[in-house]
Each structure stands twice: as C-alpha cells, then as structure tokens.
C-alpha cells in the first residue's frame, strides 16, 4: 500500500459513507416492514420521524460520494509518478486493474445515489409518502453496491505496488493496438463526429419537443437518447475530442485531460456530461411514477425543469468539448 494523504482521505470517506448508507439501509428495512400510514400508533410516528434522519443520511452520503469521486480522479493523477511506465491516471489504474472496477462502481454508485435523492425529494413534497416502499427498496440495493465499491477501493489501494511496471495511456488508447480502449481510439473519426454532432442536434431537438408537447413517449425517448449520447460522447472523447485538446492526433487518453497541463478541462467536461445524462435519464425514470396521484403534479412540474437542465448541461459539455475544434489551429483533417 502507498501511504498518501489522498488515499487515506478516500479510504476514510468510503468507510464513513458506507456506514451512513448501511445505517440508512437498516432504518429503511425497518420502515419497509413496519410502515403503515393509516396507523396512528407511536411506532408509526417514530418511523415517520426516522424518515427525516434517512433523508439527511442519504443527502450526506451523496455529497460525500461526489467529493470522493473528484478526489479519487485527482489522486489517480497525483500518484502516477510513483509507477514505472505511468504517465497519467491510466497508468495508476493499470498498476492494479481492480482500479477500473472501482471507477465503474463509483460512476454507478453516484448515479444511483443521485436518483435516490431526487426520488426522495419528490416523495417529501407529497402528503402521504407515496414512494416510501420504492425508496427503501432501492436503498437495500444501494447498500450492497456501495459495500462492493468500498471493498474494491480497499483492494485497489492496498494492492498498489510501486515496483509494478505499468503501461501508459499511449499503449491502452492507441489507434492501432488491441483491446477495448484501442478499439475505441481507432474508431473512424468522421463517422463518429457525425454521430456526435448529429446526436447532439437530435438530443437538443428531442428536448425542445419535450418542452412543447407533454407526451410520455417523448420522455422515454429523451431518457434513451441521453444514455446513448453518454456512450457516443465517451467514445468521441477517446477517439477525437481528447486529441483536439492535446493537439496531438495520436494521443487519445480520456484521463490526461484531467491534468494541469490541459487546465483541468476534463473535470468540467465529465461533470457536465454525467449531470446532463442524469437529468435526461430522470425524465424517463420518473415517468411511470406519474401514475401515483399524489406526486403526479410534482413530477409534471419537475420534468420540464430536468429537461431544460439536461439540455443546458449537455450544451455546455459540447461547447467545452468542441472549443479547440473550432478555435485552435489544430485539425485532424487529412490525418485519417
């Protein structure tokens, strides 16, 4: 293990978050079993009070998840210098491949937490706690996910060995190598550019249409589009967006853009992309819940807001991503 302040902070935060969520899941399980809104017993009153605690616990857990995700990324960057062969976060992740799983678990955990928080907020606006069972059922799923994440995180950091010779992003994300990273890096640029910018136009159009017409199908469409745009955007970042930021046609790393050399541009880029995807998804996820009468109004009011937020954030992402394509002298034309 490497004793690094960032790693210590991450491990402590992970344990604390897990503690919060496990306690939350425990309370949630009790609520699930005993919940009876029609009862006016002392127990039901106590349960209703516990829901305040639960919301607070989860709010804290969510905030800490976001903080620790950022610190995680930066720590990967920061410790790469320890490893022979590493030049950015990719090298750190390769030094102990469990790291890739941590990254995946973190993204999933973050999305999950965010969905939970929004559902909770909707639920609290209603008089009769209509989503209680759904919420606490989800919590019972979230707890094992976060437990897994914490376990992986420990495995990753405890298993990091500075004497391991790792490979840098140039190997993993090279246009001609083997493996998933290289496959994506080697995708034909012009078709992908068309998919990216065309997809952006379609997404924004679908959003605008959603704001004009309140139809369930359109909302599901938006959610589906947001998910596919996440995939296309990530592939585009590896295949050509990063190259424009590096002004180097052979450099495809999705992590080097997080470095100081590139003005940390990766952070706002990924934050806006994931937030846009999340709000887009929420429009669809919340749709079936409109059948519940007491939250119908709340959701109906929230959906246009989420749609607008998602469009705005996605637009911002595209502006950040495309900035050097428009304003720098560098061009990939003729390279492929």
Partner 1 sequence: MGSYHLGRHLKILEFALSSMLRRRTKNLGLVLVFAALVFLLSSIVFLTGALRTEALATLEASPQLLVQRAMAGRHALIPLDYGELIARLPGVGSVTPRYWGYYYDIYTGANYTLLGIGDQGLESPGSTPLRLVEGSFIMPGQRRVCLIGEGVARVRGTRIGGMVSLRDARGWMQEYEVIGLFASPSRLLTNDLILLPEADLKAHFGMPDDRATDLMVEVYNPHEVDNISRKILERLPDARPISHAEIQRTYETLFNWRGGLLLAMFLGAMAAFMILAWDKATGLSADERREIGILKAIGWETSDILELKLWEGAALALVAFLAGVTAGYAHVQRFGSELLMPVLEGWSTLFPAIDLAPQLDPYALGVLFSLTVVPYIVATVVPSWKAAITDPDRVMRAS
- Degrees, nearest 5: CA angle 190-192-197: 95
Chosen residue from 36, 41, 49, 125 binding partner 1 by CB under 8 A: 49
In whole angstroms, what is the distance from residue 147 CA to residue 142 CA?
9
Q: Is 110 helix (H, G, I), strand (E, B) or coil?
A: helix
Nearest CA among 67, 72, 64, 59 for reference residue 4: 72
Q: How big, in percent rounded to 5, are the helix, strand and coil portions of the chain?
A: 80, 0, 20
In the complex with partner 1, the residue whose CB is nearer, 68 or 233, is 68
Chosen residue from 9, 224, 249, 304 binding partner 1 by CB under 8 A: 9
CB atoms inside a 10 Å sphere around CB 331? 11
Q: Using CB under 8 A, which of the segments 46-54, 171-179, 183-191, 310-318 binds partner 1?
A: 46-54
Chosen residue from 22, 29, 32, 67 binding partner 1 by CB under 8 A: 67
Chosen residue from 10, 113, 152, 302 binding partner 1 by CB under 8 A: 10
In whole angstroms, the minimum distance from the beta carbon of 151 to partner 1 comes to 19
8 in contact with partner 1 (CB under 8 A): yes
In the complex with partner 1, the residue whose CB is nearer, 81 or 214, is 81
Chosen residue from 37, 81, 107, 300 binding partner 1 by CB under 8 A: 81
In the complex with partner 1, the residue whose CB is nearer, 45 or 141, is 45
In whole angstroms, what is the distance from residue 207 CA to residue 190 CA?
25
In whole angstroms, what is the distance from residue 197 CA to residue 334 CA?
20
Are the C-beta atoms of 169 and 266 separated by less than 8 Å? no
Sign of the Cα torsion 177, 178, 180, 186 reads: positive
In whole angstroms, the minimum distance from the beta carbon of 195 to partner 1 comes to 34
Are the C-beta atoms of 255 and 169 separated by less than 8 Å? yes
In the complex with partner 1, the residue whose CB is nearer, 128 or 215, is 128
5 in contact with partner 1 (CB under 8 A): yes
21 in contact with partner 1 (CB under 8 A): no
84 in contact with partner 1 (CB under 8 A): yes
Footprint of partner 1 on 128-187 (CB under 8 A): 162
89 in contact with partner 1 (CB under 8 A): no
74 in contact with partner 1 (CB under 8 A): yes
281 in contact with partner 1 (CB under 8 A): no
In whole angstroms, the minimum distance from the beta carbon of 220 to partner 1 comes to 26
List Cβ neighbours of 140 (8 Å cut-off, separation of 6 or more). Answer: 25, 28, 29, 32
Q: Is 274 helix (H, G, I), strand (E, B) or coil?
A: helix
Are the C-beta atoms of 139 and 116 separated by less than 8 Å? yes
Q: What are phi and psi of 84, to 5 degrees?
A: -70, 125
In the complex with partner 1, the residue whose CB is nearer, 16 or 117, is 16
Query: Where does 188-292 have alpha helices with state H?
Result: 189-212, 216-236, 242-246, 266-285
CB atoms inside a 10 Å sphere around CB 165? 11
56 in contact with partner 1 (CB under 8 A): yes
In whole angstroms, the minimum distance from the beta carbon of 102 to partner 1 comes to 16
In whole angstroms, the minimum distance from the beta carbon of 52 to partner 1 comes to 6
227 in contact with partner 1 (CB under 8 A): no
State the residues that interact with partner 1 by CB under 8 A: 2-10, 12-13, 16, 19-20, 49, 52-53, 56-57, 60, 64, 67-68, 70-71, 74, 78-79, 81-84, 162
């Amino acid at each position: 293990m490497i004793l690094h302040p960032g790693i210590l902070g991450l491990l402590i935060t992970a344990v604390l978050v897990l503690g919060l969520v496990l306690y939350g899941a425990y309370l949630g399980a009790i609520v699930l079993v005993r919940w009876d809104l029609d009862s006016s017993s002392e127990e039901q009153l106590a349960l209703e009070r516990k829901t305040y605690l639960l919301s607070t616990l989860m709010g804290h857990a969510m905030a800490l998840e976001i903080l620790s995700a950022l610190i995680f990324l930066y720590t990967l960057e920061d410790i790469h210098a320890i490893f022979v062969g590493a030049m950015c976060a990719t090298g750190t992740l390769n030094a102990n491949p469990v790291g890739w799983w941590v990254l995946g678990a973190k993204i999933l955990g973050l999305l999950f937490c965010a969905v939970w928080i929004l559902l909770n907020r909707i639920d609290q606006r209603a008089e009769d706690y209509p989503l209680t069972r759904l919420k606490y059922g989800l919590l019972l799923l979230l707890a094992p996910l976060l437990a897994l994440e914490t376990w992986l995180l420990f495995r990753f950091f405890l298993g990091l060995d500075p004497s391991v010779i790792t490979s840098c992003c140039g190997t993993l994300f090279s246009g001609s190598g083997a493996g998933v990273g290289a496959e994506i890096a080697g995708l034909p640029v012009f078709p992908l550019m068309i998919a990216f910018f065309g997809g952006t136009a379609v997404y924004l159009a679908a959003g605008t249409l959603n704001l004009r017409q309140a139809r369930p199908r359109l909302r599901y469409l938006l959610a589906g589009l947001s998910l596919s745009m996440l995939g296309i955007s990530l592939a585009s970042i590896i295949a050509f967006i990063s190259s424009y930021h590096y002004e180097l046609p052979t450099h495809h790393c999705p992590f080097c853009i997080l470095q100081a050399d590139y003005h940390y541009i990766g952070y706002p880029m990924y934050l806006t992309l994931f937030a846009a995807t999340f709000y887009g998804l929420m429009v669809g996820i919340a749709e079936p819940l409109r059948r519940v009468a007491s939250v119908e109004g709340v959701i109906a009011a929230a959906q246009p807001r989420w749609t607008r937020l998602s469009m705005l954030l996605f637009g911002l992402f595209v502006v950040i991503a495309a900035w050097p394509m428009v304003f720098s002298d560098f061009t990939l034309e003729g390279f492929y």
